[in-house]
Amino acid sequence: MRKLKLVSFDLDDTLIREIHSVMLPCILNGKEKEHSYIQEQEEKGEVNYKSADYLRAELLIGLEECKIAQSFLEIAKPLKNIKSVVEALHERNIKCIVITVGPKQVAKVVCSIWGFDDYYGSDYEVVEGVFTGKILNYIGAEQKIACLQDFCKNNNIKPEECIAVGDGSTDIPIFEYCGNSIAINSSQKVRKSAMYAVDTDDLTDILEYIV
């Protein structure tokens, strides 16, 4: 394996669990029940995950973006020692980014709290500090690769110098693109697509596969 220069992290069910990145602002906007209904529709196969996210985006109408940073740690359920892992990787000159299908506004807060080098996510429209309920640019599975390529191009990093960490089906394309990958708390299908797999509530457990 070539020396690693970058670790790309998924967000939902990878860094935070139970409360997903689009669910959190729905809760802040008093729309938890409506979110649950959309979730049920998705689980029944009545809507696909992308259509469900556009429906969830509408639940954010009127929410002030600043409330995400104000309340994130009160609501989110992060894995243990995220900041310690980012710091350990930085000590080895390995950059860390977050790439999520969820709102980039939540990824931005995650980046700020735990010290990630950059973030990418779906662009939920915000006008004068308030969510409009629209998604301007949606980041799906294939778009995750484009996000990784963008960061790598700007930082002179090759795909084989990256390792992707994720849990879901939207992470499989980026696993395959990088070649190096860690499935964390994932299904058997995702585990089969990864180089390594770990089940844990402590993010430091991934370090043995990286450094």
**Domains of the chain with bracketed CATH:** 6-17+78-209 (3.40.50.1000)
Tens-place pLDDT, residues 42-56: 999 999 989 999 999
Tens-place pLDDT, residues 64-75: 999 999 999 999
Would the pLDDT of 186 be above 70? Answer: yes
Alpha-carbon span 106 to 112, nearest angstrom: 10
Residues 6+ apart with CB under 8 A from 70: none
Q: Specify whether the CB–CB gap between 13 and 20 falls below 8 A.
A: yes
Alpha-carbon span 2 to 117, nearest angstrom: 21
Residue 182, by phi and psi: left (phi above 0), alpha (psi -120 to 50) or beta?
A: beta
pTM of this prediction? 0.95
